[in-house]
Amino acid sequence: MSLQVSTKALTQQVRKLGEQIISVTDDGSPISRNAALAQMLWDMALGHTSRERDADGTMREVYHPPVAWCAQYIYERQEGRSPTAVPENDARVKAVEKVRELAKQRLNKMAVSAIGPPVHKPKS
């Protein structure tokens, strides 16, 4: 029972924090944390550009391509579906791990080839 009460209390606090005003638009309309989070989700779903500093400290326009899960999440929320949790034994999770492992092996091979073949020094 206490676990259920504590999760409800946490949810209540998250909702309170989400309603807080953190900024205003140019015309003076308030922007809540919830609105800012929703805007970020839409930006990620549709793709967006941002201004970021590179290693030299120069400001650059960086394009961030659309993120598929964001678009799916928005669509499902609009259809009234709640997001489903992916079980750990799901085949998709295993596929993601396999892709990650293959990418790691590929990067390691690229690093080895960039260094070049080993140089044998004659013993003096």
Mean pLDDT of 72-89: 77
- Select the more confidently predicted residue: 28 or 85: 28
Contact 74, 45 (CB under 8 A): yes
Could you read off the pLDDT of 8-63 as tens digits, one per residue? Answer: 889 999 999 999 999 998 999 999 999 999 999 999 999 999 999 988 989 999 99
Measuring CA to CA, how many Å separate 104 from each of 46, 81, 96, 113? 29, 35, 12, 14
Mean pLDDT of 58-86: 87
Buried-exposed string 53-90: b where 16+ CB fall within 10 A, e elsewhere = eeeeeeeeeeeeeeeeebbebbeeeeeeeeeeeeeeee
- Write down the mean pLDDT value for the chain: 84
Per-residue pLDDT at 123 exceeds 80: no
How many other β-carbons are positioned within 10 Å of the β-carbon of residue 43? 16
Tokens for 78, please give them: 């609009």
**pTM score above 0.95:** no
Angle between helices 2-19 and 33-46 (to 10 degrees): 80
